[in-house]
Structure 1
Amino acid sequence: MKKARMLLLVALILIMNVGVVSAADEPVYGLFMSHMTNAFTMEMSTAVQTKADELGVKLTVYDGGKDPAKQINQIETAISQGIAAIIVEPASVDGIIPAVKAAREAGIPVVILNQKITDQSIASTFVGVSNVDGGKMEMSAAVADMGGEGKVALLLGPMGSDAQIGRSEGYQAIIDESKGKVEVVYELTANWTTDEALAVVETWLSSGKEINAIVAQNDGMAMGALKAVEDAKMEDKILVYGLDATDEALAAVKDGRLKATVSQSTTLQGLKAMEAAVDLVNGKEVAPEILVDFTLITKDNVDEFLK
Structure 2
Amino acid sequence: MNAPLKLRRMTAAALTLAAAVTMFGFTDAANAAGKKIALVQINQEALFFTQMDEGARKAAKAAGADLAIFNSNNDPTAQNNAIETYIQQKVDAILVVAIDVNGIKPAITEAKKAGIPVVAIDAIVNGDNDVQVGVDNKKVGTDIGQYTADYIKKSLGGKAEVGVVGALNSFIQNLRLDGFKTGLASAPGAKIVATVDGQNVQDQAQTAAENLISGNPNVKVVYATGEPALIGLVAAVSAQGATDRVKIVGWDLSAQAIKGLDQGFVTAVVQQDPEGEGKAAVNAALKLLAKQPVEKNISVPVTIVTKANVAQYRAVFK
- Per the alignment, residue 103 of structure 1 pairs with 111
Determine which of 161, 178, 183 is the counterpart of 1:174: 183
1:177-188 equivalences under 5 Å are 177-178=186-187, 180-188=188-196
CA distance in 2, matches of 1:284, 1:252: 45
Matched residue type, 2:63:
L
Residue of 38, 45, 50 corresponding to 2:46: 38
Kindly report which structure 2 residues correspond to 1:114-193, keeping only aligned pairs within 5 A, or say none.
114-117=122-125, 120-147=126-153, 148-159=158-169, 161-178=170-187, 180-193=188-201
Q: Confirm or deny that 1:259 pairs with 2:267.
A: yes
Q: Distance in 2 between matches of 1:96 and 1:201?
A: 30
SS in 1 for 2:219: coil
Q: Distance in 1 between matches of 2:161 and 2:304?
A: 21
**2:276 matched to 1:268?**
yes
1:152–1:183 contact (8 Å) kept in structure 2:
yes
Show the 5 A alignment for 1:192-203: 192-203=200-211
Q: Aligned pair 1:217/2:225, yes or no?
A: yes
Where does residue 286 of structure 1 map in the other structure? 294
Deviations 1:195-233 (A, max 9, x none): 112111222232253100111001321221122212221
What residue identity is the alignment partner of 1:283?
K
Which one-letter code corresponds to 1:249 in the other structure? A
Shift of 1:158: 3.0
2:11 match: none
* Number of positions where the alignment pairs a residue of Structure 1 with one of Structure 2: 279
SS of residue matched to 1:212: strand
Identity level (%):
25
Instruction: Please say if residues 219 and 261 of structure 1, whose CA atoms lie closer than 8 Å, have aligned partners that are also in contact.
Output: no
Residue in structure 2 matched with residue 56 of structure 1 by the alignment: 64
User: After superposition, where does 1:9-20 map in structure 2 within 5 Å?
Assistant: none
- d(CA) in 2 for partners of 1:246, 1:278: 31
CA contact (8 A) 2:196 2:209 kept: no
TM-score, normalised relative to structure 2:
0.83
Distance 1:233 1:209 in 2: 12
Change over 3 Å in CA distance of 1:149–1:155 after alignment to 2: same
Q: How far apart in 2 are the matches of 1:208 and 1:68?
A: 33
In 1, Cα distance between the equivalents of 2:253 and 2:267?
A: 12
* Separation of aligned partners in 1, 2:47 and 2:207: 20
Structure of higher CA gyration radius? 1
Aligned to 1:74: 82
What's the CA shift for 1:247? 4.2
Q: Which amino acid aligns with 1:143?
A: A
CA RMSD of aligned residues (A): 1.7
Q: Are residues 91 and 208 of structure 1, via their aligned partners in 2, closer, same or farther at CA, if it must alter by over 3 Å?
A: closer
Q: Taking structure 1 as reference, are residues 169 and 80 closer, same or farther at Cα in structure 2, changes over 3 Å only?
A: same
Shift of 1:251: 4.2
SS at match of 2:87: helix
Return 244-253 or 133-142, whichever deviates more: 244-253
1:99 alignment partner AA:
A
Which of the numbers 251, 262, 268 marks the counterpart of 1:243?
Answer: 251
Amino acid at match of 1:123: N
CA-CA distance at 1:111 after TM superposition: 0.1
- The 1-side partners of 2:45 and 2:91 are apart by 25
Q: Quote the offset at 1:136 in angstroms.
A: 1.8
1:227 is aligned to 2:227: no
Q: Secondary structure at the match of 2:45?
A: coil
For 2:254 and 2:95, locate their aligned partners in 1 and report how far apart those are by CA, in whole Å: 22
- Tell me the distance in 1 between the aligned counterparts of 2:192 and 2:120: 32
Note the residue ranges of structure 1 that are not aligned, 5 or more in a row: 1-24
